Amino acid sequence: MIFDSAAVAEVLLVLKIAFLVLLYLFIWRIVRTASRDLRLPQESFVLAPSVAAGVQASRPGPHTGRLVVVKSADLESGEDFQLNSAQLTIGRGNQNDIAIATDEYASARHARFEPRQDGVWVQDLGSTNGTFLNGARLDRPRRLTVGDIIRIGETDLRYEQ
């Protein structure tokens, strides 16, 4: 051996530490960048006054659209319900905006459609059999996109612009 064994040990120690540091750096980088998409939707709630004024001026008003009946025991296929600024509720009860009295699988107050700034949202109101958006049961309010099929009991509605 040409090398001094103490020097070799030192180099190895440095290499070992370097390896561990690199390993943790890798983890740090991933956690940093991966956690970024957790806060993407709302970077900050506070807007600069000029920006806020601009937002106020150009506010386009809530999204609108209409709901077309695809399949229902109660309603005519093709019948449509306009969504402008007001909420629409749907269910078996008569107090609903869209009443589907003969749908046995619907709850009295089943779901609500709400036009907001960022689109029309659908929310299940604690129904027994659930509200399905494109076949997936709603577990929280969802934003509709054009062509979405919403199923309430045995009634299918399609969201259109």
Partner 1 sequence: MTYAGFFFALYLAAHLVTRYTVPFADPYLLPIAGLLTAIGLTEIYRLNPTDAFRQGTWIVVAVALFAATLFLLGRDYRRLETYKYLFGISAIGLLLLPILPLLGLTVNGARLWVHVGSLRFQPGELAKIMLIVFLAGYMREKREVLAQGRLKDWGPLLVIWVLAMLVLLETKDLGGGLLYFGIFLAMLYMATARIAYVAVGLGLFLVGAVGVWKVTPHVQERVTIWLHPWTTNKVYCPISGHFDLRQNCESFQLVKSLYSIGHGGFGGTGLGKGTVANLNGKEIIPDLNTDFIYSALAQELGLIGAAALLLVYMIFVLRGMRIALLAQDGFSKLAAAGLTFGFAFQTFIIVGGILRLIPLTGITLPFVSYGGSSVVANFVLLAGLLLVSNRANREMLR
Binding site for partner 1 (CB under 8 A): 12-13, 15-16, 19-20, 23-24, 26-27, 30-31, 33-34, 134-136
Residue 79 C-beta: closest distance to partner 1, Å: 28
Give the residue with the Cβ less far from partner 1, 24 or 85: 24
Give the residue with the Cβ less far from partner 1, 2 or 38: 38
Residue 41 C-beta: closest distance to partner 1, Å: 12
Q: What is the DSSP letter of 156?
A: E
| Separation CA 93–CA 68 (nearest Å) | 20
Give the residue with the Cβ less far from partner 1, 26 or 117: 26
3-state secondary structure of 30: helix
| Separation CA 142–CA 49 (nearest Å) | 31
Give the residue with the Cβ less far from partner 1, 88 or 106: 106
| Separation CA 116–CA 74 (nearest Å) | 28
Residue 27 C-beta: closest distance to partner 1, Å: 5
CB 98 within 8 A of CB 123: no
Residue 84 C-beta: closest distance to partner 1, Å: 26
Give the residue with the Cβ less far from partner 1, 28 or 77: 28
Residue 12 C-beta: closest distance to partner 1, Å: 6
The half-sphere exposure of 148 on its side-chain side, counting CA atoms within 13 A, is 23
Of the candidates 148, 147, 103, 149, the one whose C-alpha atom is nearest the C-alpha of residue 129 is 103
